[in-house]
Structure 1
Amino acid sequence: PAHAGAWRIALQAAWLTGDLDGAGDALAQLRLHSDATLELEAMASEAGVGGAAEVELLLGQCPKGVDTPLADLLCGKLAFDPWPWVRPAQPGDLPPGQDPADRWASHQSVLLLDRVVDRVLPDGRAMTSFHAVSRLQTKEAADRAGELELPTDALALALVTLKPDGRRLEVDRHAGKDDLSFSALAPGDAVERRWVRIEGPATPWGGYIRKFYFASGDPMVRSELAVVVKKGTRVLHLERNGAPAPQIMEAGDEVLYLWQAEQVPAVPPEPHTPGADEFLPHVVVSVGVSPQHALATQQLGTDEAARGSRQVADQALVLTATIAEPQAERAAGRSPAERGRTAPPARDPMEARAERLFHFVVESIDDGPPRPPELVLDTRRGERSGLFVALLRAAEIPADVVWARAGMAPPLDPAAPDPQAFGIRLVRLEPRPGQVRWASLEGKRWWYGAPPPYLVGGAYLRRTGPRLEVLPLLDEGADGWAVASRAELTVAQDGHAQGRLEITLPAGYASSLRAFLRSARAEDKARQLQGLVAALLRGGRLLRSQATPLDAPLEPLTLTLEVEVPHFMVPDGDHLVAEELFEHPPGLRTLGLPLLEAYLVAPRRETPLLVRPASEHLQVTLHLPAGARADVQPGTFERKLPFGHFAQRFELDPATGTARLDLQYTLRMVRIPPDGAGNPGFASGARSQAKPGGEGWDGSASPGPHGFSEFARAAQEVIQATRNRLVLQRGP
């Protein structure tokens, strides 16, 4: 068929005969003919509202022939003409300074309109219209905007190019393909995208949630969210970081909530920012969702996965039956009385049972979807957290799956009832009353014991009867996540060095590396470790390597690398020179954790900075050539700052020709506002977390909120102090 009417008949026939593939093809052809009326009618039927015209109205459009209070309200409030920002500006067309050609000359594109309109249905679904118009300032922006993909369940209402000469060009559709492209884009054009979809409820029990940001990486002329609900509906809305307050208007039996922002500056994409919720202006709107619903949504399947059964109890008994007393002591044949006289106190058997069960789950079960625990045991695949809890309970150890947020997550108060706000699944267990342990069994980055640094300062949800509590994740034991490294090198007269580098990673940090070293081919391991050595010791070559223990997931992993480093020190006449002597902690570099330099990539910031926690203790021993003495050597210093503790000591013993460098490098998690953070967009976010009683940025006892410039100056001083230069006068 060559026209929309024929495809309409084909769609109806295919639907009535159950030919879903044929119906899909007919629907696709209808879209090619830009005939969306039938699809809108189907959407209206599915949503339980009127016909296509009413759907268009509810989605923020203004169809002809519709005259209702809501139509007058929506069509008046949402009217927007993009052409003044697309056609070449004439004197008086735009207010002074608003012509995109000059006002936004430094930006590749300008978002003329960013709009979402939601019609909330009684069951929590939403009929949603997305409408965006972007002006393309550069060729790069035009190239990026050329191709687009819509959500698979979206119905396109308008995909057009707006040309400065007033032409509207429809999108190019490629026969037999799902991709679309805008026609012949050039700088100065604008692209308009408008599509609709029905979005499902926020939880299995219904409810609606929308989070909308009023700022992005592009400047905006107009940004708005409209939510339409039935009169009498209770709507929760939280505006944060300078987001606009809503206009609330009644129209018949409907109520319109409208948030509008105009002339919004761009937010530059800067690295190491906290979560966008912490500093971008946004609103969270919810209908019919409670914190209990949010928690229950996340726990779907977990309760079933943690259910006890005879098979689970038998497995727990098999795994823990030998932990009545310490293994080594029992093998030695000594009685408990003898052990009490000759040995330190035995390891708590309940703790040992918990560790044995954790070891079994991470070593024997592949992570997968929630399933009954007996099925997970049979197939060796399923949700690890649920099975671990089921085994713990069978071993009489209280345990629960809880949902947490990281300390680096935006600490927003009050919290919105968002199922994703607490998105980290943890196991909380008590081997003994009051003795709390934590565990994560997700993927290959599992851990057990104290919370890792990124969780410190966070919180978790716990249900106590009908109440839902938000409890803090304490930092007890977080020091156990510090990395330790040792290097011992012998330096020859020509500056070449040979020796050993040893890096000890906490069990939680080491889990993925341990899994790689256990499963990878020998050549792959050698290649990866050689790359690591070359990165840590410039030009270094790996001779041999060893990692121990590989089969103890709860123990720290020690990686020992025997290396040779040509030109470790460079000959310069009768001197040997090392310009950068272990100025970066090798363990933290191995883990890829950012160091101070990473936070100073830009001289100034417009967004908050989040410094991530990291800690390493490095000890270096150098055996120098006989008779060598130091003309220039690293310094000794200590700085305690709100963002970390840094201490270094260097000693050289001429009698033995031995030099020792000891470095303590600790970064604390802090949030640092940009300079002059009076921008209302940052009103409730970004703040320094200097602790009372600590030292200020300059080492004085004056902590408090400080901007990025002060942080950068203090950080640069630490970086300069650890730029370790060693110049040796060679002996005879």
Structure 2
Amino acid sequence: MINLWRRAVLIVVCVVPSLAVNAGWWEVWQAGMEFDLNSAREHALATIAADPNSADAVAAASWWLANIEDLPEPEEVLTAVDNGRDPELGFILERVAARLGARPPAGALTTAELAGTFGVFSALDLDRNVVPPDSELPPLGTTWSDPAVPFHLLMRTADAWHGPPRAMMADGVFLVSWTLDAAAEMNGWMVVEARGGYNLELDGRPVDRRRNCGQVDPGAAWYRLRLAQGLHRLRLEVASPDGPEVRLSLLDDQGRPIKGVTRIDQADGGWANSEITAALPPASAELSQRLEAENASAPEFLLAAQLARVRSDPAGEYRWIERSRGVDTEDPWAALALARHFITTDGGVPGAERARYIGQLLRAASTIPGSRLFERSVAMREGRGEDAEKILDQLVADHPDDSRVLRIWVRESVRRGWVREAEEGLAQLEADLPGSLAVTDLRLEVLASLERWRERDSLLRALAVATPVETRWIGQMASSCLVGEAAAATASLAPEVMDPDLDVQLVTLLLENGDIGTAGAELKLARERWGDLRVFDELGLLLAGDNHEALLATLAGALDRDPSNLQLLTLSWRNGTEPFFAPFAVESSDFIGKYRDLGEDVDAVLLLDQAVERIFVDGSSLYYYHGLTRANTPVGARRASVLQPLPDAHILNIRILKPDGGVVVPSDIQPGQGGITLSDVDPGDIVEEEYVAWVGPTGASRDGHLPPYIYRFADPDRAFGLSEYILLVPPEVDIQVDGNFEGLERSEKEWQDLRMLYWRAENVPPMPTEPFAPPAQDLMPWLNYGFGVSWQDVGDAVRDRVLPALRSSPELREWTREVLVGETPEEQLDSLVEALVETVERGNGEISVADTAGESFGRRRGNRLGIVAAVLVEAGWDVDLILTRPWTDRDQRLQVPTLDAFPVALLRVALDGDEIWFDSREERRGVGSIHALFQGSDGLVLPLSDSRLPVVRIETLPTFPNPDLVDELAVRATVAADGGVNIAFTMPLRGGQATRLLERLESVPEDQVGMVYRQMALSMFPGADTVDGEVEKTEDGATIRLEITVPGGCDAEDGELVCRSLILANPVVPTLARLPERTYPLMLRVPIERRIQLDLVPPPGWEPKKRKPRQMDAEWGSVSETLEMVGASLQSVLHISLPAQTVPPTDYRVFARFCQAIDELTTRPPRLERIESRPPTQ
């Protein structure tokens, strides 16, 4: 190795004079993308050596780190410069050395204190100061005992990344901390690399807070640091739903480890003076300041983008790339940089719009040879295998010696079954890149694909004795039956690593290797070091093996610590313990016979619908379900074949019972697979489903329980034989129960030291339905229960999932700058929503927690409400998420909080005191309004801008004008003497009506549009003859205009013309009052408002017959009319109004008579009389 380094120094000395003038990061990147890795390597060495304090040197080193597996002598960069270097350059070079030496980077703190769990939520509680001060932490050395009890332990990792190990992972916040002793005053840098979010404190003072590191905030944050002589305390509160991790490095001004600062265990306070400021390292700071102050070239902006990429700062990278594209929109290098940015930050298959844009960028960069690598990557990601093959074949033909192409080609050769080509490619790689770990990985992969296990085992044995051992090989050794080698390799890490996950791995490997004694000793040490982790109980069971007494004793101890552990319980049941549900189990054959004749007139019968739930004091529970469904018809067979067990359920029994006594047991059901669809279910079959599932508590560190779902005892589509729910509750748990228990048998008693609550319904027919009735789920008997949960907890549970989904993206931020414009807050919101509707399709939901706002915007589909919320939160608005429900449900189901009580999401936003409501379903009409269905309802207010604010219930949502709900139409009817009528019809449409009409017209050929207009005319004016139409788009929808001729539209009767074709009001009785009586209330969820204008123009010698305006006013609604002569015509404006209301069944007959009276008034035809027929005026 020393000879290699000497050779590297000689190379640098020789290369620098010839390349120093022209070498820079730009040349490095160009050479790399032109498949000239050798020149790129030489340029990188020369750039670093020429000016190690420059931004170019930092970027060149980052290129080296990114391509380390493709360089023949990657260690040579470590001697390219000695002193006088930028600290960020030193930071990167230390990571190069760490990669090559299989060790943590120098300067990174490998040992840290870890404490937790604090709080309940991984996103929400990071802003709530849930981590106590040092004086209130448990003493260092406090082991893990329960998720609700904080631990405080010292850990040391192989890569200096610190966070909760898998064995201790739970929702909430963790504390990573260090007490440092500075022997003398030091000045330098601190770098925090993070995944997730963190709050940074130094010596008791808050310093910084970062969220979504590497996705929104930079993944590597730099701080200028001064520590006075003495003790100092660093604390990082970390949290992330995916598991937080941080790595902290202390560096001098050269990027080397700071000397004279050591970690100690003391944490008693009395900290020395210190100063810390977030700052970019010098080269990056100088470049950024210069580019902000003056115009620059495209390569300089791309250099700044590369430095942002080094710090895992996607927002900064995107901004600098866009600045570069602003200089030259045709620059292929900027297009390639942006395509690379999108490909690496999308995180998965992008939406169609993003995919098209990436393709456009890559076509713009097609003059750069390296763009083909990205093209192939995109083709593979999008499933375009044939395109990917063509691109690869061309790459191999054009650049057969490039190691990046060779690695891809070797894998593809194996896939195609071309063994010789794969071997030749591997041989070339091993010759070009001796000692490369990536090539070794590829060799192992190829040997496994070709099933050459003996050669693979030999190679793994050689790797097992390498020093230091690469952790990446250990799993492959174990999977290749080299368990002894894997265990020895794991044990070799023990002196350098203190981590429960490593101890779990070691004990597991020792057990697999048959070394029971050593495994037992290591497990005992691990328990003493870390506490009674659940995974240790599982290892203890494996250790007990065939020793039945030891197994039972170990199992009893494990269940005492974790009594609801389903995996442990199923083992206990197999060893003779009676399951909790056994006393209530139903024998299928006897039960089927009892209900043989039930429900033969329906598609399906749920003969048995039984649930038994055992609740534990921590809020967890075990849920047992047994169902028997008989299919009577093909429709019923399809319904019976679809099963929905709870997630990760332990299946006890799923089978199909045939009428002839045959039994079909599906063979392809996997544990925990979720939804199950059975084949071979025919009419007459009975499907049996039996499972038990674990239901978690509402928080790992908080006792509380919510049921898996609201249990219902009836169904509109099925008859029920026996439906029962049995709840087993510890006496110390104060369970709250809510529901509709009408028609249910209820009981409560003590049972085996538990409270047994029992609900039962038998021989329940399908629930009848009625139009305009309340939702079926509110009418049938139902049950809800829980304990230890408030509406604040429910809101926080939702908020904890929503807040991470508000993550923006650089692209979304750039778009926001252009569209969030206007003089007033309402104008700004209206501008934003208008642009959003034009840019992002509606998708499947208005708000999504599965996708972030930035991801949804990148796909241009769905999550509109989430995008608006994310934009406004970032822009500094006050944003509240309002969870609500239809006004008809207001004040109901409040006794027991549930997650599904308020299923509808709205926004309430404010800026400078101006409050605006927003309903994204209504698009632009939803700015400053919400749908009438939710006006006046109640809801939960979830503050998003400041998550420290509490969740509160809003008792009454505001009301707004509802012009969109007013059905308007205007008709000018010119009547001829023969009764024919020429009609000019105008009707404005808004919202979904307008959208559907426009889509319908756009979907038909142009020569068939007239037919659409004719169909519309005939639906309103039977007998219409000629029809001409047009549709005009308006700001809030569309307006349809029709010119219609109706021969015989008015009939001659008793000397009058009776114009029945001009009855424009639709009757309400067929819609609202067609039933003779009602069982359930009639709910008019949204008001009915109609405004009908008729301008009646009589023929010469005729005039409208005199009458009084139609008027009626009742508690259910009103009819009013204004009449006015406009010239020779009579203008009638008829208003029909029925407010949103609930009509009890007892009032239905009166309401029906009211509807009949409305129809009698509104369906009177206009009449004309001859002028001469009037009596002479006196």
Same fold by TM (over 0.5)?
yes
| Aligned partner of residue 449 in structure 1, secondary structure | coil
| Aligned partner of residue 83 in structure 1, secondary structure | helix
Aligned to 1:627: 1101
Aligned to 2:612: 117
2:748, 2:758 within 8 Å by CA — same for their partners in 1? yes
Q: CA deviation at 1:48?
A: 2.3
The whole-number CA distance in structure 1 between the counterparts of 2:569 and 2:876 is 58
Matched, 1:276 2:795: no
Q: CA deviation at 1:109?
A: 7.5
Aligned to 2:1062: 581
1:295 maps to which of 788, 792, 795:
795
The residue type paired with residue 1019 of structure 2 is: A
1:630, 1:728 within 8 Å by CA — same for their partners in 2? yes
The residue type paired with residue 628 of structure 1 is: W
| Aligned partner of residue 272 in structure 1, secondary structure | coil
The whole-number CA distance in structure 2 between the counterparts of 1:458 and 1:489 is 43
For 1:337-393, what per-residue CA distance to the aligned partner results, in whole angstroms no more than 9, with x for missing partners? Answer: xxxxxxxxxxxx332222112212222223455555555555544522232234334
Q: Cα distance 1:181–1:408, how it changes in 2: closer, same or farther (>3 A)?
A: farther
2:1029 maps to which of 539, 544, 550:
544
1:468 maps to which of 933, 952, 966:
952
Aligned to 2:971: 487
1:238, 1:284 within 8 Å by CA — same for their partners in 2? yes
1:659 maps to which of 1112, 1118, 1130:
1130
Q: 227-236 or 176-185, which moves further after superposition?
A: 176-185
Length, aligned pairs only:
582
The whole-number CA distance in structure 2 between the counterparts of 1:207 and 1:519 is 52
The whole-number CA distance in structure 2 between the counterparts of 1:211 and 1:446 is 35
2:691 maps to which of 187, 196, 199:
196
Q: CA deviation at 1:709?
A: 1.4
2:656, 2:665 within 8 Å by CA — same for their partners in 1? no
Aligned to 1:131: 627
Q: Cα distance 1:285–1:646, how it changes in 2: closer, same or farther (>3 A)?
A: same
2:566 maps to which of 41, 44, 47:
47
1:429, 1:438 within 8 Å by CA — same for their partners in 2? yes
Written as runs of structure 1 = structure 2, the 5 A alignment for 1:299-448 is 299=799, 302-306=802-806, 315-320=815-820, 323-324=822-823, 349-367=824-842, 369=848, 371-375=851-855, 378-381=858-861, 383-393=863-873, 396-409=876-889, 411-431=891-911, 433=913, 435-442=914-921, 447-448=926-927
2:636 maps to which of 120, 125, 145:
145
For 1:300-328, what per-residue CA distance to the aligned partner results, in whole angstroms no more than 9, with x for missing partners? Answer: 6532444578776654443355x34xxxx
Aligned to 1:456: 935
The whole-number CA distance in structure 2 between the counterparts of 1:397 and 1:82 is 61
The whole-number CA distance in structure 2 between the counterparts of 1:68 and 1:197 is 10
Aligned to 1:214: 713
Aligned to 2:593: 83
Aligned to 1:669: 1140
For 1:534-553, what per-residue CA distance to the aligned partner results, in whole angstroms no more than 9, with x for missing partners? Answer: 3233344641213232xx4x
Aligned to 2:786: 286
Q: 214-223 or 380-389, which moves further after superposition?
A: 214-223
Q: Cα distance 1:320–1:71, how it changes in 2: closer, same or farther (>3 A)?
A: closer
Aligned to 1:696: none
Q: Cα distance 1:668–1:152, how it changes in 2: closer, same or farther (>3 A)?
A: closer
Aligned to 1:236: 736
The whole-number CA distance in structure 1 between the counterparts of 2:893 and 2:619 is 28
Higher relative contact order (CA 8 A, sep 6+): 1
1:628, 1:730 within 8 Å by CA — same for their partners in 2? yes
Q: CA deviation at 1:519?
A: 6.3
1:125, 1:208 within 8 Å by CA — same for their partners in 2? no
| Aligned partner of residue 770 in structure 2, secondary structure | coil
Aligned to 2:1089: 615
Matched, 1:561 2:1041: yes
2:581, 2:612 within 8 Å by CA — same for their partners in 1? no
1:222, 1:260 within 8 Å by CA — same for their partners in 2? yes
Matched, 1:512 2:995: yes
The whole-number CA distance in structure 1 between the counterparts of 2:732 and 2:1009 is 64
The residue type paired with residue 931 of structure 2 is: P
Q: Cα distance 1:204–1:477, how it changes in 2: closer, same or farther (>3 A)?
A: farther
1:713 maps to which of 1153, 1169, 1178:
1153
Q: Which structure has the bigger radius of gyration?
A: 2
Aligned to 1:639: 1112
Q: Cα distance 1:293–1:112, how it changes in 2: closer, same or farther (>3 A)?
A: same
The whole-number CA distance in structure 2 between the counterparts of 1:729 and 1:125 is 80
| Aligned partner of residue 538 in structure 1, secondary structure | coil
| Aligned partner of residue 954 in structure 2, secondary structure | strand
Q: CA deviation at 1:490?
A: 1.9
Q: Cα distance 1:482–1:605, how it changes in 2: closer, same or farther (>3 A)?
A: same
Q: Cα distance 1:566–1:581, how it changes in 2: closer, same or farther (>3 A)?
A: closer
State the TM-score, normalizing by the size of structure 1.
Answer: 0.67
Q: CA deviation at 1:663?
A: 1.2
Q: CA deviation at 1:238?
A: 0.7
1:545, 1:562 within 8 Å by CA — same for their partners in 2? yes
1:570, 1:577 within 8 Å by CA — same for their partners in 2? yes
Aligned to 2:1162: 722
1:635, 1:721 within 8 Å by CA — same for their partners in 2? no
2:719, 2:766 within 8 Å by CA — same for their partners in 1? yes
1:627, 1:657 within 8 Å by CA — same for their partners in 2? no
Aligned to 1:25: none
| Aligned partner of residue 637 in structure 1, secondary structure | coil
Q: Cα distance 1:527–1:402, how it changes in 2: closer, same or farther (>3 A)?
A: farther
The whole-number CA distance in structure 2 between the counterparts of 1:389 and 1:471 is 23
The whole-number CA distance in structure 1 between the counterparts of 2:678 and 2:1090 is 50
Query: Which segments of 5 or more consecutive residues in structure 2 lack a partner in the other structure?
Result: 1-477, 481-562, 670-675, 944-948, 1173-1178
Aligned to 1:27: none
Q: CA deviation at 1:220?
A: 4.7
1:605 maps to which of 1078, 1081, 1087:
1078
Aligned to 1:341: none
The whole-number CA distance in structure 1 between the counterparts of 2:1156 and 2:980 is 31
Q: CA deviation at 1:728?
A: 3.8
The whole-number CA distance in structure 2 between the counterparts of 1:395 and 1:600 is 51
Q: CA deviation at 1:226?
A: 2.0
Query: Which segments of 5 or more consecutive residues in structure 1 lack a partner in the other structure?
Result: 1-15, 19-43, 56-62, 88-99, 325-348, 586-593, 676-706
Q: CA deviation at 1:400?
A: 2.7
Q: Cα distance 1:69–1:159, how it changes in 2: closer, same or farther (>3 A)?
A: closer
1:610, 1:670 within 8 Å by CA — same for their partners in 2? yes
The residue type paired with residue 1032 of structure 2 is: A
Q: CA deviation at 1:403?
A: 1.5
Q: Cα distance 1:510–1:300, how it changes in 2: closer, same or farther (>3 A)?
A: farther
Structure with bigger strand share is: 1
| Aligned partner of residue 880 in structure 2, secondary structure | strand
For 1:552-611, what per-residue CA distance to the aligned partner results, in whole angstroms no more than 9, with x for missing partners? Answer: 4xxx334131221424614457754333533426xxxxxxxx955312232111122111
Give the root-mean-square deviation of aligned CA atoms: 4.5
State the TM-score, normalizing by the size of structure 2.
Answer: 0.43
The whole-number CA distance in structure 1 between the counterparts of 2:1116 and 2:810 is 51
Q: Cα distance 1:422–1:108, how it changes in 2: closer, same or farther (>3 A)?
A: closer
2:712, 2:781 within 8 Å by CA — same for their partners in 1? yes
The residue type paired with residue 579 of structure 1 is: R
Q: CA deviation at 1:621?
A: 0.8
Q: Cα distance 1:391–1:174, how it changes in 2: closer, same or farther (>3 A)?
A: closer
For 1:11-46, what per-residue CA distance to the aligned partner results, in whole angstroms no more than 9, with x for missing partners? Answer: xxxxx999xxxxxxxxxxxxxxxxxxxxxxxxx998
